[in-house]
Amino acid sequence: MPFKALSSGARRRDGEMMTESTAAFARRIPKVEMHVHLEGSMQPDTLLRLARKHHVDIGADTVHDVESLYGYTDFLHFLEVYQMSTQVLRDAEDFALITYEFLRNQAAQNVRYSEVMVSLSDHLIRGIDAETVMQGILEGQRRGEHDFKTRMAVILDAGRQWPDLVPQVQQVAARYAGRGVIGFGIGGDEANFPPELFTDEFAAAREAGLRLTCHAGEVAGADSMWGAIALGAERLGHGVHAHDDPTLYAELRSRRVALDMCPVSNVRTGAIPTLHAHPIRRYLEDGLLVTVNSDDPPMFGTSIANEYRALAEDLGLERAQIAEIALNGIRASFLPQDEKQRMEAEFRTAMGRLDE
């Protein structure tokens, strides 16, 4: 059911919503986040601190140096920088720290619930034990949820560029199903490792009761998205190429397959040339189930609050449309249905108060 239209303030003469009140509404609105990577949420100062702790040379000595690393020539270059940054995560204390800080930052942006991807392959490939990763994350989650009154669940994300590790990630996810892990998916090098390579792992994850996601339609086209749907993926990460195939577009709309979209990330990796060219508004208005997310916020110079601001200021969405996207996050989540209904009612009440 669409969110009740809210008063939207004045318009610029070109019709684009650029009022301060709309931008403030976008920042203050209650949020959930469905596509955010834990490791990619590590703050630059934390990255430096952990590099010094473990004597890891990351080619940076200051926060400014770290931020300079975040200029990518293409998506594969981004993956290289991402994998380099994970080198500083060595023990359970490190994983607890970044999880605790993640929840603190989410709470500061009025995020009530997050489904957080953990790039377990990046740690297994370095010889870090899965139990070290998971126990650290669960401890950070326990403390962070208590201190900041926001919640999270984990989706274990396998880097498809290491296909031999994907079964191991799936098995860890199954072992922790119901104990902090809610889902399983694949990310990484989409162009060279299509979803169909991982049919068995997705089937086993579904059998274990895990919910399924897949990065698709970010740097590869509609075929990648068809492959992800065939595996049973309930949400697709990015999906900016959905409109390339009208049959796919209609299928996504009719089946309500969620597209977890990350506008700033898509510009920074070159998937989309500019924010103004991003298809999220078109997809929303055409009735697709779209959410907005920050992906790897410090690595893309963004935050979930900034993504909502961009909806208003760069993409011209009105308050009712922004509210609808926030509610779509709840609808696309892997929460039980009764929790979704309760949270949606709470969000509607909070949104109404913002307009008073």
Location of structure tokens 């993926």: 233
In one letter, which amino acid is 257? V
Q: Return the closest-CA partner of residue 308 out of 324, 289, 296.
A: 324
18 burial level (CB within 10 Å; 0-12, 13-18, 19+):
middle
233 burial level (CB within 10 Å; 0-12, 13-18, 19+):
buried
- 131 an active-site residue? no
* Cα 231 to Cα 49, 89, 163, 172, distances in angstroms: 40, 31, 16, 19
Q: Return the closest-CA partner of residue 137 out of 113, 160, 109, 156.
A: 156
Report the sign of the C-alpha dihedral through residues 70, 78, 132, 144, in that order. Answer: positive
* Cα 246 to Cα 222, 226, 234, 252, 253, distances in angstroms: 10, 12, 19, 10, 11
Q: Which of 218, 234, 313, 318 is catalytic?
A: 218
Other C-beta atoms closer than 10 Å to the C-beta of 61 total: 12
Location of structure tokens 């199954």: 174
Report the sign of the C-alpha dihedral through residues 102, 104, 109, 112, in that order. Answer: positive
Structure tokens at 8: 């939207």
Which is it for strands 181-187 and 211-216: parallel, antiparallel or unpaired? parallel
CB 92 within 8 A of CB 130: no
Q: What is the DSSP string of 278-294?
A: -THHHHHHTT--EEE--
CB 17 within 8 A of CB 303: no
Catalytic residues: 218
